[in-house]
Amino acid sequence: MQNKSKGIVSQLLSNYGAVLEFISSACTCGPEQFLPASKETIKNELKKYYLLNNELESKNLIYMNYIHLAYFVPLSDALTAVRFENFSKQTLSKDSKKKPTHPEDQNLNDEYSKIQSRVLMEMKKLSEEFSNFIAEHG
């Protein structure tokens, strides 16, 4: 049973890694529904995996994967982020950072800024949470 459980954990973390890689290459955040399990389940499994791992490089990767859970947001936020990124690609050249001129565009920009702020706050929270876990368990 122990090996079967370890295999399930390994598969879960592998699936999470694949989804995280896809999200990071596609846009700045993705819907929580893309996760192979709940955020809490993934957090718990990453903590267990951290304790079982002795390699510093692997531990650092686990820590980063934990923090990157912040990239997974409610569906409405993910859709807003995609709309903003598509808008940005269509209207802004790579050489300039023009501000949106239409009120709808400004609203989209404002909403995206709020989402980015929430993601950054969540990353900070997750970083502190994992740092506390490390301090408690080594």
pLDDT tens-place string over residues 21-62: 877 766 778 899 999 999 999 999 999 999 998 999 999 999
Q: Within the chain, how many helices (H) and strands (E) appear?
A: 5, 2
Helix (H) or strand (E) holding 72: strand 72-73
**Based on the structure, what is the number of domains in the chain?**
1
Listed range (52-56, 73-77, 87-91, 112-116) with the worst mean pLDDT: 87-91
CB atoms within 10 A of CB 126: 18
Distance CA 5, CA 12 (A): 11
Question: Domain range spanning residue 93?
Answer: 2-137
**Could you tell me the pLDDT band of residue 66, with boundaries at 50, 70 and 90?**
very high
Q: Are 32 and 75 in contact (CB under 8 A)?
A: yes
Q: Are 49 and 55 in contact (CB under 8 A)?
A: no
pLDDT score of 100? 55
Mean pLDDT, the chain, whole residue set = 85
Total-model pTM: 0.81
Rounded mean pLDDT, 112-138: 95
For residue 21 the two structure tokens come to 């890689």
